[in-house]
Amino acid sequence: MLGRVLLPSFFLVLSYGFWVSSSFKDLAAGVALFLFGMLCMEQGFKAYSGGTLKRMLMASTDRLWKSLTFGVVSTTVMQSSSLVSLITISFLSAELIGLRQGIGIIFGANLGTTTGAWIVAGFGLKVNLSAYALPLLVFGVLLLVQASKKLKGVGWILVGIGFLFLGIHYMKEGFSAFSGQIDLTRYAMTGLAGLLVFTLIGIVATVVMQSSHATLTLIITALAAGQISYENALALAIGANVGTTITALMGAMGANVAGKRLACAHLIFNLGTGLVALLLIKGLVAAVDYLAAWLGIAPDDHTLKLAVFHTLFNLLGVILMLPLVNTMVTWLERTLREVKVKRAQPRYLSDASLSLPEVALQAVSKETKHLFSNAFTLIAHGICVRRASIVDDEDLQQMIDPPGKIIEIDLDEQYERTIKDIYSANIEFLSKAQAAAAHEYAEAYVALRQANMDVVAAIKAVKHLRKNLLHYMQSDNLHIRREYNRFRVRIAEVLRSLAILRDTDDVTDALLALDETRVDIASGENEAASRVNALIRDGAITSQMATSLINDGAYVREVIRQLVDMTEQLHRGDLSRDDTLHDELALKAEEIAKIARYAGTVR
């Protein structure tokens, strides 16, 4: 509702401004070009934010100081603390990093964003950037039409820098023209009122533009043109720093509780830093004057002094907050708890990761494993085997002779409580991710979708099997009881094998190991068929028992097949898109059947 009112209002204000002032047109176009340039740069860096960024994160965040350094460097390179914040939230939501590491990155990102002020104040205002912008745009567009994803990424970055340069140029031109028409310094305010009012304006401007970097560039160009006072520019810079947290908060809205904790930490840091800067404004201004003189900055070079101020109060915030990180982590984990619900919910999915295909793939892969973990318990209890008996390596063969103990469970109710919401969320997330991702990720997303469907199909087959299983696993007829207990053992052994393979790091080895499992399964099916024929021929079981045994044997095969297929698809989702080793070595279906028949004759 708010957007329906604000957007038309912005259009009306902009249209009126274009009509009454050509200078306003240059200024607005400059802001638009700058923001578009940042969007292009973000698009370019996303080409490298998947596996590359993941490897960098793992190597660069195992210590707090490394996390801080990573935040500084990545934000300096990308020139977007918002992008770094969103990437960090998505990695935290997928549990690829911890909260402490995420907070370190956010602190570093705030420090890294100060480099933008130095670049604009020290270089952007002293050089005709438009002369460099056009060649960058030409080279960038040339790279954009290439087939390589990496070259396209470089192309987007060059186009983004070109538009950033054009934006700075037009903002500078717009404010210079304004100085001959309108004197904005007439609206300057001094004292506490000016400090608070212009801090609020800085917050609002950053919320509207969704970029503190863009707001700072606008402040610096206005200050260089003499359209705002130095004192008011300092307040605007503080406001821009606080306003940038809105992007992180919006990104965390679709994240899990871990992402929300990080966004809250970001808000605490920026609010705390802004408050300290406001309270110590006089001391900071004096420190800026001292540092500026030491660095050789002219007393009237207010743009560079603003860059010094921006760096100084962010550095002060890091120094004050860094010793409190552990306390902050403890408080956030105690305050923002996982909501206890009666129905199992997704743990790793986050809307923030949808724009990063590699991260989205990691998240939904983990969520599929979460689904399998819940289904593991449901299937085990459905065949009346304790989960602990499977994972603790108990001798499952001991279950074949004695009457089985029934585990009371409502499969429909348990499906609704532990499976349905996760399954639905996975399918929805996969649809969104596949629509947003490049073609090269399509096969992995299709494999993960199939893995989710296989899990549900296995549960449904168990539901059909359970009716006769409960009756015959306690039958007085030893032969039928053994066969139904063998059904239970076969499924339990497959669950045990697949649980180990699910967490295997070497994807190709896991897929090849599945072939061994398929051979064992085929051998077991051949043996079961031989025993059933013998029991029928010898009259050891009634015709009704034989019919049930044959029909339920089909359900057992379906459960096992779906579970094995699920594990294969899950690993195919992790398989490198250029890894052909498994496909070269994998056994064909007829080869598996032949080996199984041979194994049966040997026995």
Averaged over 192-209, what is the pLDDT? 80
pLDDT at 460 over 90: yes
- What's the mean per-residue pLDDT of the chain? 77
The Cα 168–Cα 27 span in angstroms is 9
pLDDT at 580: 45
% of the chain at pLDDT higher than 70: 74
At what angle are helices 212-224 and 149-178 packed, to 10 degrees?
40
Regarding predicted confidence, which is higher, 582 or 88? 88
| Per-residue tokens: 599 | 């194994």
| Per-residue tokens: 430 | 């996969």
CA 597 remoteness from chain centre: 47
Averaged over 252-278, what is the pLDDT? 80
pLDDT at 377 over 60: yes
Regarding predicted confidence, which is higher, 344 or 209? 344
Of 69-83, 143-157, 172-186, 532-546, the one with minimum mean pLDDT is 172-186
**172: burial class by Cβ within 10 Å (0-12, 13-18, 19+)?**
buried
Contacts of 96 (CB under 8 A, 6+ apart): 54, 57, 58, 359, 362
How many angstroms separate the Cα of 336 from the Cα of each of 93, 256, 349? 14, 11, 18
pLDDT at 296 over 50: yes
Residue 458: which pLDDT band, with cuts at 50, 70 and 90?
very high
Averaged over 263-271, what is the pLDDT? 85
Residue 456: which pLDDT band, with cuts at 50, 70 and 90?
very high
Q: Which tens digit of pLDDT belongs to each residue from 395-413?
A: 888 888 888 788 888 888 8
Q: Which tens digit of pLDDT belongs to each residue from 100-143?
A: 888 888 888 888 888 877 777 766 555 566 677 788 888 888 88
Contacts of 336 (CB under 8 A, 6+ apart): 257, 260, 261, 264
Contacts of 133 (CB under 8 A, 6+ apart): 161, 162, 163, 165, 166, 169
Residue 576: which pLDDT band, with cuts at 50, 70 and 90?
very low
Residue 36: which pLDDT band, with cuts at 50, 70 and 90?
confident
Q: What is the DSSP letter of 503?
A: T
Regarding predicted confidence, which is higher, 192 or 7? 192
Residue 88: which pLDDT band, with cuts at 50, 70 and 90?
confident
CB atoms within 10 A of CB 536: 17
Regarding predicted confidence, which is higher, 106 or 24? 106
pLDDT at 64: 76
**559: burial class by Cβ within 10 Å (0-12, 13-18, 19+)?**
buried
Regarding predicted confidence, which is higher, 463 or 195? 463
% of the chain at pLDDT higher than 90: 5
Confirm if 18 and 28 have CB atoms less than 8 A apart.
Answer: yes
Residue 2: which pLDDT band, with cuts at 50, 70 and 90?
very low
Contacts of 427 (CB under 8 A, 6+ apart): 449, 452
- DSSP one-letter string for 461-498: HHHHHHHHHHHHTT-S-HHHHHHHHHHHHHHHHHHHHH
pLDDT at 53: 56
Averaged over 372-394, what is the pLDDT? 87
Confirm if 203 and 197 have CB atoms less than 8 A apart.
Answer: no
How many angstroms separate the Cα of 372 from the Cα of each of 256, 458, 520, 564? 20, 10, 22, 12
Residue 595: which pLDDT band, with cuts at 50, 70 and 90?
very low
| Per-residue tokens: 495 | 């669950």
pLDDT at 424: 93
For residue 371, give the nearest of 569, 91, 516 by alpha carbon.
569
Q: Which tens digit of pLDDT belongs to each residue from 214-230?
A: 777 778 877 877 778 88
Q: Which of 122-136, 198-212, 269-283, 451-465 has the highest mean pLDDT?
A: 451-465
Contacts of 43 (CB under 8 A, 6+ apart): 153, 156, 160
Q: Which of 46-60, 170-184, 332-346, 455-469 has the highest mean pLDDT?
A: 455-469
The Cα 320–Cα 342 span in angstroms is 41
pLDDT at 593: 43
Q: Which tens digit of pLDDT belongs to each residue from 518-537?
A: 766 766 667 767 787 888 88
Residue 331: HSE in the Cβ half-sphere, 13 Å Cα cutoff? 8
| Per-residue tokens: 140 | 């960038």
Q: Which of 3-12, 108-117, 152-161, 281-290 has the highest mean pLDDT?
A: 281-290
For residue 244, give the nearest of 213, 273, 272, 217 by alpha carbon.
213
- pTM as predicted: 0.65
pLDDT at 210 over 70: no
The Cα 332–Cα 335 span in angstroms is 5
Q: What is the DSSP letter of 146?
A: S
Radius of gyration of the chain (CA): 32
Residue 452: which pLDDT band, with cuts at 50, 70 and 90?
very high
Residue 454: which pLDDT band, with cuts at 50, 70 and 90?
very high
CB atoms within 10 A of CB 43: 18
The Cα 74–Cα 60 span in angstroms is 11
pLDDT at 577: 43
